[in-house]
Amino acid sequence: MIKKIILSGFTLLLLGGCNPEMGRLPLESDVGCLRKELSSDMHLSFQTATNFCQKSDHGVPLPLNLKGALDLQVQAEQANIAYIN
């Protein structure tokens, strides 16, 4: 029983650390996620970064909350990506 618990915990630890720099972290804002993705070593485009950061509701992408980030709002407008001001 203890071996199963340890093995389960170890497996979760390994899976959680597969690629920490990709995707949204819990409680992370849209602005924080986009800035993290755009500054990564992979030099992602804005469109690709939004694919990692945008939340969805039953498969429908929700508008990004870009309040106070004018530079990201301009990029979202250029890429035709919905956002909340």
Q: What is the pLDDT of residues 27-45, one digit of tens each?
A: 899 999 999 999 888 767 8
Number of domains in the chain: 1
pLDDT, residue 27, reads 87
Global pTM reads: 0.69
Q: What is the DSSP letter of 23?
A: S
Supply the range of the domain harboring residue 79: 2-84
pLDDT, residue 76, reads 95
Task: List CB contacts of 79: < 8 A, sequence separation 6 or more.
Answer: 46, 47, 50
Identify the three-state secondary structure at position 29: coil
pLDDT, residue 13, reads 60
Considering the chain, what is the average pLDDT of its residues? 83
- Confidence band (pLDDT; 50, 70, 90) for 12? low
